[in-house]
Chain A
Amino acid sequence: MIMDLIPRLAALLDGLAGLPIFPDQGSTIAEGVDHLHYFLTALTLFFTFIIFSTIFYFAVKYRRRSEDERPAETKTYLPLELTWTLVPTGLCVIVFVWGSSLYFRNSRPPTASMEIFVVGKQWMWHLQHPEGPREINELHIPVGVPVKLTMTSEDVIHDFYVPAFRVKKDLLPGRYSSLWFQATKTGKYHFFCAQYCGAQHSGMIGWVYVMTPTDYADWLSGGTKGETMVQAGERLFTQYGCITCHIADGTGRGPVLQGLFGKEVRLKEGQTRVADEGFVRQAITNPNSMPLAGYPPIMPTYLGQMNEEQILQLIAYIKSLAGEERKTKGK
């Protein structure tokens, strides 16, 4: 019987060894997050062990030996209370500082990041590279380069999650969120929708392909021949008639967009806002919600006339004008 057990146990351990326990570390931040995770795991095991073994020890040592035992009262001992209040508090402070500083560091994309645009919709991912290539449920990126994703949703809330990179961020309809990572090794990694979004939620998954920079360059040039995002945005700019009011020399009825992106803009009610992606999106979809100082509120809304990908292309175009000189004739 016992002889039979040993090979079985060995087989079981073998099976367990084949069981994945640690996820891939595929990004620059993965290792740091894992170190905190290991620390917390050790903390959990340590305190669980302390509590379990103390209870077990007491439960055996002080088991009831006769029915009429009446143990004496133990007085509450203040130093003990303070110890087990302050020690966990101290540990919590350490974990809080550790977790927050990592989070802070990980939440700011480096300025030199390559930007990719993500639109989630029930139930697929649309990803677009500035150079033009568009992908569905796949993302090709070069290794060793910081990548910033600017994301929004066409319908409900989705969430872009790459376990191997330890990153996750919600995609919200009507606003932009962003997320960045820098892959450290080539390979193929899962990405998931991590916010429940309806019937085919669990089908909303895809792959990140991390490639060497040369492979990536080949992939880019081999991709669909088409316009870059800026070119597509410029085409939309004409097609939707934006160009009739937003005239470069400042003679139009709307503000000049050259040199606008990233600058502060004054609203009618006096406050100022930075012209970022969210601002431009709001200006396109709901201009009446933010009347500008010095302009009549005559711009029509384009809500429902363009999809989120087209809005992103327009933004890419307006962004590309940021470097151009602002004509002084403009109001």
Chain B
Amino acid sequence: MSTANTEIAAAPRVHYLNAQYGVKSWLLTTDHKRIALLYLGSITLMFFVGGSAAVLMRLHLIEPQGALVQPETYNKLFTMHGVVMIFFFLVPSIPAVLGNFLVPMMIGARDLAFPRINLLSWYIYIIGSLFTLYAIVSGGVDTGWTFYTPYSSTYAHTQVIATALGVFITGFSSILTGLNFVVTIHKMRAPGLTWFKMPLFLWAMYATSIIFILGTPVLAITLFLLALERLLHVGIFDPALGGDPLLFQHLFWFYSHPAVYIMILPGLGVVSELITCFSRKKIFGYTFVAFSSMAIAVLSFLVWGHHMFVTGQSIYAGLIFSVLSFLVAIPSAIKVFNWTATLYKGSISYQAPMIYALGFIGLFTMGGLTGLFLASLATDVHLNGTYFIVAHFRYIMVGGAVMAYLGGIHFWWPKITGRMYPDMWARIAALIIFFGFNLTFFPQFMLGYLGMPRRYAVYPAEFQVLNVMSSAGASILGIGYLIPLIYLIWSMRYGPVAPSNPYHAKGLEWQTPSPPPTENFEEVPVVTEEAYAYGSEEGAHA
């Protein structure tokens, strides 16, 4: 296969970043790589919006009576944090940025199947974000990201409609992205790239897209019904109007539990790429890892009731949701074991993306295992609604999804920008994030077991020591996230020029120059080898 020589790449060369200049060339682009960068900019902004809410909350909780704000404001802070982080950062993060950039590159295609729909999905995301940001600046919303009824539909006096509308609109951007990926992966694979030769990142994207398409409409319907009740007093969820408050929770979690897998599955895919590259090994148990993604996608739709064990749902329903929730843990365990086995007899280097990936495995393992406490009925009764859940969710979402996202951003940064990041700084940042993360969230497991409920603006004094530890960790974590922001921006201008394949990685995206030309490949690649054929002789591309 043809590989552009890096020495030549140092000379001025036309690629997707310099092919056209000007704001218009970006805002009207249909190039999946440029759209990925549009997403990267917008979700980074949203990440720091949601992150500042978290920092304010942790500062506030240093003192039991609350150090910073009124309870009403605190309630708005955690709602804003949840809504922004989940719907505007975690859900689009890996799919819309890395997926957008990589799905066509990894399958050897010129673009996604529907480039203009791809641009449309970004505009939809922006419109949704604007509604939500408007809701925040025009008074905020205080329902929690879960919008539980009848509080949200009848009792809250805050910007419920604007926020729900923002989330509703953004959902369509997810649906369109999912649709685009499914069609692209089905129809546009390079010659020779069969399903079981695909990188596992693509399997993860495929599974995620299925959930996007099947789950997101249910969220849209749920929010629409909520708006109907709030604006027109149609009795759907509020018992005072003849509705059923638990119906909302069933509908909401029917989307929002699969959404948890929307957020983590792409991360699992990224980690498979990182582990294989930095140990130079074919993934151990390819089919098991690939099918575990699909198993997670299917099972994720059948476990929503484990959010409702203490709502008074039938104990037999509880039993079924409990056993299914245990089942969904198995594919995740299979992945962890296979990644570990992949390292066996490998050639392991500790470049920054690998540090993120190893950190991910550790934190994801803990997040997954603490999930068993919550799948098990008797322990869930005690832990549900406490800081234990907060910590479990953060181990999966921050220790898992965000670590994987950062690992992936670093890994593909040379491909995306054509520049190397400073590896030493990146490793230091990864370690600071790992340490700060654990200090922030490990004490929260203990707080939850001791019985501290979540979403408390003030709390009994006996919980203070652990809260102070957690807040201290949060300040370290905050700094850890600022460091990559600084050096990655710095590297775009001052970083060393990246060769086309700086890690000697496999995968079609590494066989074209960095940054790639607008059409991705000069000639359509033909795939002859399995994914991750690091053992083969021709693996030594410079």
Contacts and interface: CB of A to CB of B under 8 A. Distances in A.
Contact of A71 (B327, B345, B458): B345
Contacts of B366: 44, 48
A95 B349 CA distance: 38
Contact of B72 (A62, A156, A199): A199
A167 B458 contact: no
A129 interface: no
A64 B288 contact: no
B322 A203 contact: no
B48 interface: no
B427 interface: no
Contacts of A48: 362, 365-366, 369
B81 to A, nearest CB: 13
B540 A172 contact: no
B333 A84 contact: yes
A305 interface: no
Interface string A74-85: 101000110011
27 contacts: A15-B465, A23-B449, A36-B378, A52-B365, A54-B340, A55-B361, A55-B362, A59-B343, A80-B341, A95-B372, A96-B376, A99-B378, A157-B150, A161-B385, A161-B453, A163-B451, A167-B381, A168-B381, A170-B310, A170-B312, A175-B239, A175-B312, A177-B312, A192-B451, A194-B453, A199-B72, A303-B240
A228 B284 CA distance: 70
Interface residues of A, dominant DSSP: mixed
Contact of A95 (B240, B326, B455, B462): B326
B419 interface: no
Contacts of B337: 84
B89 interface: no
Contacts of A195: 148, 385
A299 B31 CA distance: 68
Contacts of A54: 340
Given A40-B379, A70-B539, A174 B239 contact: yes
Interface residues of A, number: 85
B345 A70 contact: no
Interface of B: 71-72, 75, 142-144, 148, 150-151, 154-156, 238-240, 242, 245-246, 279-282, 284-288, 310-312, 315, 318-319, 322-323, 326-327, 329-330, 333-334, 336-338, 340-350, 358, 361-362, 365-366, 369-370, 372-373, 375-382, 384-386, 446, 449-451, 453, 455-460, 462, 465-466, 533-535, 537, 539-540
A185 interface: no
B155 A59 contact: no
A286 B151 CA distance: 22
Nearest to A303: B240
B541 to A, nearest CB: 12
A324 to B, nearest CB: 31
Contacts of B287: 76
Given A168-B385, A196-B151, A197-B151, A99 B377 contact: yes
B393 to A, nearest CB: 15
B378 A85 contact: no
A63 B237 CA distance: 58
A241 to B, nearest CB: 23
Contact of B450 (A63, A81, A163): A163
B312 A99 contact: no
Interface in A155-178: 155-157, 159, 161, 163-164, 166-170, 172-175, 177
Contacts of A200: 71
A232 B29 CA distance: 73
A122 interface: yes
Given A62-B348, A74-B345, A168-B385, 4 more contacts: A48-B369, A74-B344, A100-B378, A173-B239
A51 interface: yes
B535 A172 contact: no
A114 interface: no
Interface string A4-46: 0000000000010001111100000000110011001001100
A240 interface: no
Contacts of B322: 96, 99-100
A88 B73 CA distance: 44
Contacts of A70: 280, 347, 534-535, 537, 539-540
